[in-house]
Structure 1
Amino acid sequence: MKYLFVFLSVGVIFFLSSCRKDFETEPSSGNLEFSKDTVYLDTVFTNIGSSTYNLTVHNRSNEDITIPTIKLGRGESSNYRLNVDGIPGKSFENIDILAKDSIYIFVETTNNIEELTSSATEFLYTDAIEFDSGSNQQKVELVTLVQDAVFLYPELFDDGTTEELIFGYDEEGNPITEKGFFLDDTELNFTSEKPYVIYGLAAVPSGKTLTIDAGARIHFHQESGIIVAENASLQVNGEVSSTENLENEVIFEGDRLEPDFSDVPGQWFAIWLTDGSTNNTINHATIKNATVGILMDSNDGTNNPTLTVKNTQIYNSSNVGLLARTGNVVGENLAINNSGQASLNLSLGGKYNFTNCTFANYWRNGFRNFPSVLIENNLETAETLFVADLTEANFNNCIIYGNENLELLFNKVDDAAFNYKFENCLIRFNDFQNQFTDNPLYNFEDTSVFENIVLNEEPLFLNTEENELFISEESPANGLANPSTSTQVDILGKPRGNNPDAGAYESVTFPE
């Protein structure tokens, strides 16, 4: 497996113009107007093309005009490319614009950072689109931040096939495969020196540990992810940050760096802890825009947690934030929000202990059939109903809320144990249709399973659309936690004191 320290190149663009060749025009006199004076193509990884950006060129005059030349300042050596009047290129002549009309120029870029500089991990690449020349010349600047990265990807073989991982065999004995690769020993420590960009499924081999240092940034191409094999481990060692840049947090997200992609769900697959993986820990991490944030199959057969996740945010998962099937999980100061299905799905039994966690779901990208938290001791497929004991599911000092009436649901079959307990929690369960009135699972007066519960009172989050799950000092979760079971600090490292709050965040004073 190789590292690629690669680059950022130029793409293809399109140009729309109202154009006639049967009219007389005046030469442009340097009075063009533009939709912007600088086109920022945002941050892109080396050797990965940018999105397409557009520029509108206006002729505000009452005369039909001709622009003698439109060209890139760097000429043919530029890493930008334009498309004017339907023709891609880097220089153009005699471009007509009707009176009171406009044309569009589309721009893309790809750059090789090693060709730009031999030392920096970031480089600001600039150029300009020049309209006309001499005293009539006008310019629009082009700016792109190029970022170096470590690229990890499956090997491409001489016969044109790509390296794959085998996940079992079908009924006819054929292997079930996905495009992926095993990390070798030199790739098992992700540092903060450069971002990592992963193509396909990067697998941690059996008996090995992938260690991710504080401040590391991991980016995934579409349908890519990390897989932790049987007897392998994942150790995410983020630390508390002192600024909003989350400089010490470990961040997992897609490989599109443009602002328009910053909160788009489903850009990559998942962090997948497969059956038999062991001793997985995640601390001070942000996992965003995945299909499933963390996918966990079974436990490692020991009494120790298979996954300990602390001080971590999971946002904008197109399916589920944390999906555990017969898992053994300890979660503290965990915040999950905006999931296409459930934010937390404890499926097919298992053993779970969550303290000072916020499980919210304010999904607005479509209809949602699932609650914020779904707890099950079974898994039904088209052919089989699988069951497993829910040994315990303990929620202490948690918030379970969202924009649906029922944000906590149980799916129980009688063939396996179903043990749960909620203490000092704020829960949304507004059964206005009385669907569960006679169901003992939802008897919130039963103190053996529901103790010191606040129902259906808005937690007063700061901004759920922006995944800002801070609570105000007027929140009913303020002071709700049990001091004897509460975490000592919140997800941001803020001390909780003698009167701690429920949820991942201690209350704050909101700005006016």
Structure 2
Amino acid sequence: MLFQKTIQTFKTKTSGRLLVLCFFISWTLYSLTACEPKEDIITTDPAAKLEFSTDSVKFDTVFVNTSSASRAVWVYNRQNKAVKISEIKLAQGNNAYQLTIDGQETNHASNVLVRGRDSLLVLVKAKIPTTTDTTAFILTDAITFLTNANRQQIPVVSYGQNAYFHTKAEITTNAIWKADKPHVVNNFVRVKTGVKLAIEKGAKIYFGKDAALFIHGSLQVNGTHNQRVAFKGIRRELFYASVPGQWQGIKFEATSQNNSIHFADIKNATYGLWAANPDRDETDYDLEINQTVIQNMFETGIRSHGADVRAINSLITNCGQSAVLGLGGGNYQFIYCTLANYTVGFRPETLTMHFSDRLKEADQPNQDYRVKLLVQNSIIWSGKRSNSTFPDQIRINNEAGTTPQLELRNSVLQTVTLAEHPAFNCCSNLLNIDPKFKAPTGRLEVDTPDFRLDTLSPVSNKAMALPEITKDLDNINRHATTPDPGAYERTKE
């Protein structure tokens, strides 16, 4: 009997303890559930829809087999609770696009959790496959999101373009680059000595990172007013529209001769034109530039090592070092040109025009030769600095002791040091008089500088008429008797 009571007492106590333990576990689980943040609780409500940072993804023209820059799509969960995206994918599975979902490069993801009031980043990149089309074409797809039985889409559109591709190319016979498709240069193209490369009017030449065009023979750029030839970086996105240093540049090597560039736009390189072909022939210019724009260079617009360069009706602007840099002497003519090197974003202490009679290169003897310079009907200007002064923008060094041959006429010149020099302070030159460009400065990514003369420009009609030059950079007629200095003739508005 006593034994049975003992057993009964044990059972009663054990049952009570178990009851307490179960109650404790239940309470703990309830407490944990009750303490779970609302934003971590997944909702299955069909009304819980995603929102997006954009209603579509669009790419400007992308060349075949060339990757675009990435576009970002932010996916927002505006709910207080979390949502689970059952599926993210490309609707058509188009291999022209690549997704990166929450840091993972994949075109398909499942069960992606987005906490309440949080977001998810999806990156989209275009890489157009090879095609035989010669004209631009459209490729479409859509990023689809499936959440709680809701299917939402973001359309993706790109404009593809086939092209002629030149990669580490050696041109050994005379060649013509046609304008029916763009040309894409990767690494370099080299034109051999004695060989001519002609580029048709309207052609567009795009360069990959650090790519260059090396001319040992001859380059003929045959643009026209209505069909200009373009040289620029391969990136087509708006962000890259005015970024310097995207490609290397065009270099004329020692054996190069008979080069001409007409109606061209050369943009966003390290240097625009590098003439390293001195031949000491004053009667025949090895590089002729006409009605051409060179802008947004990381270093120089035109760099010369003792070469013979003539530029007419041309604009050189926005260069990180100098618009024109001539070392080791050489023969130079700038007629109806605007050299304006003071746009926002570039170093203010650099010179717009800089010449020296000596070229010093590592492990090479000095190259010494005199500077012969003609500047006529031109503008060399960079504007004021923060201290409201006009810094020198022209320098001519004679380290080798040669005597420069200088002729400057009817030109607007920004110089302090050379203001009393007999070649500058004469011949109807206008020293340190602001030409009043229409809009020389601005934000490079959104604004296009305008170096035409304002209606109130004090230098208008101050050039000297040259019968052999009757048009300006825009192919507008020059005034027959009192034209304007610089690349542009002012027109009545």
Q: Normalised by the shorter chain, which TM-score bucket? A: 0.7 to 0.9
Q: Which amino acid aligns with 1:335?
A: L
Name 2:453's counterpart in structure 1. 471
Name 1:182's counterpart in structure 2. 170
Distance in 2 between the 1:473 and 1:369 partners?
29
- Listed as ranges, the matches of 1:211-226 within 5 Å are 211-226=198-213
- Pick the aligned partner of 1:497 from 465, 479, 483: 479
Q: Which amino acid aligns with 2:122?
A: I
Q: CA deviation at 1:382?
A: 5.4
Q: CA deviation at 1:323?
A: 0.8
Q: CA deviation at 1:367?
A: 3.1
Q: Which amino acid aligns with 1:272?
A: K
Pair 1:53 & 2:71 matched: yes
- Pick the aligned partner of 1:105 from 106, 118, 122: 122
Query: 2:40, 2:81 within 8 Å by CA — same for their partners in 1?
Result: no
Q: CA deviation at 1:479?
A: 0.5
**Residues 108 and 421 of structure 1: is their aligned pair in 2 closer, same or farther, counting only changes over 3 Å?**
same
Distance in 2 between the 1:294 and 1:307 partners?
9
Distance in 1 between the 2:483 and 2:290 partners?
17
Q: CA deviation at 1:458?
A: 2.2
Query: 1:113, 1:146 within 8 Å by CA — same for their partners in 2?
Result: no
Q: CA deviation at 1:120?
A: 4.0
Q: Which amino acid aligns with 2:83?
A: I
Distance in 2 between the 1:273 and 1:382 partners?
20
Q: Helix, strand or coil for the counterpart of 2:304?
A: strand
- Listed as ranges, the matches of 1:9-24 within 5 Å are 23-24=41-42
Q: CA deviation at 1:51?
A: 0.8
Q: CA deviation at 1:130?
A: 1.3
- Listed as ranges, the matches of 1:37-436 within 5 Å are 37-75=55-93, 77-114=94-131, 118-132=132-146, 136-154=150-168, 181-185=169-173, 188-229=175-216, 232-241=217-226, 248-302=227-281, 303-381=283-361, 384-390=365-371, 392-403=372-383, 405-413=391-399, 415-429=401-415, 431=416, 436=417
Give the length in aligned residue pairs: 442
Distance in 2 between the 1:378 and 1:139 partners?
64
- In terms of fraction of residues, the more helix-rich structure is 2
Distance in 1 between the 2:426 and 2:196 partners?
39
Q: Which amino acid aligns with 1:305?
A: Y
- Pick the aligned partner of 1:459 from 420, 428, 435: 435
Q: Helix, strand or coil for the counterpart of 1:504?
A: coil
Distance in 1 between the 2:284 and 2:47 partners?
76
Q: CA deviation at 1:27?
A: 4.6
Q: Helix, strand or coil for the counterpart of 2:165?
A: strand
TM superposition outliers: structure 1 runs of 4+ over 6 Å: 19-22
Query: 1:291, 1:319 within 8 Å by CA — same for their partners in 2?
Result: yes
Q: CA deviation at 1:443?
A: 1.4
Which structure 2 residue ranges, 5 or more long, are not aligned?
1-36, 386-390, 443-447
Q: CA deviation at 1:40?
A: 1.1
Tell me the TM-score normalised to structure 2 length.
0.84
Q: Helix, strand or coil for the counterpart of 1:200?
A: strand
Q: CA deviation at 1:20?
A: 12
Q: Which amino acid aligns with 1:213?
A: E
**Identity among equivalent pairs (%):** 29
Q: CA deviation at 1:254?
A: 1.1
- 1:53-75 superposed Cα distances (whole Å, 9 cap, x missing partner): 11011122223222222221103
Query: 1:412, 1:418 within 8 Å by CA — same for their partners in 2?
Result: yes
**Residues 271 and 127 of structure 1: is their aligned pair in 2 closer, same or farther, counting only changes over 3 Å?**
same
Q: Which amino acid aligns with 1:145?
A: Y
Name 1:7's counterpart in structure 2. none
- 1:403-451 superposed Cα distances (whole Å, 9 cap, x missing partner): 452111111236323111111111222x4xxxx3xxxx5415x368632
Q: Which amino acid aligns with 2:420?
A: N
**Residues 461 and 386 of structure 1: is their aligned pair in 2 closer, same or farther, counting only changes over 3 Å?**
same
Q: CA deviation at 1:483?
A: 1.2
Query: 2:39, 2:117 within 8 Å by CA — same for their partners in 1?
Result: no
Q: Which has the larger radius of gyration?
A: 2
- 1:91-134 superposed Cα distances (whole Å, 9 cap, x missing partner): 222222222221111111211141xxx43431111111112279
Q: Which amino acid aligns with 1:478?
A: S
Distance in 1 between the 2:246 and 2:296 partners?
10
Distance in 2 between the 1:97 and 1:448 partners?
70
Tell me the TM-score normalised to structure 1 length.
0.81
Q: Which amino acid aligns with 1:477?
A: V
Name 1:35's counterpart in structure 2. 53
Q: Helix, strand or coil for the counterpart of 1:260?
A: helix
CA RMSD of aligned residues (A): 2.4
Name 1:158's counterpart in structure 2. none
**Residues 28 and 300 of structure 1: is their aligned pair in 2 closer, same or farther, counting only changes over 3 Å?**
farther
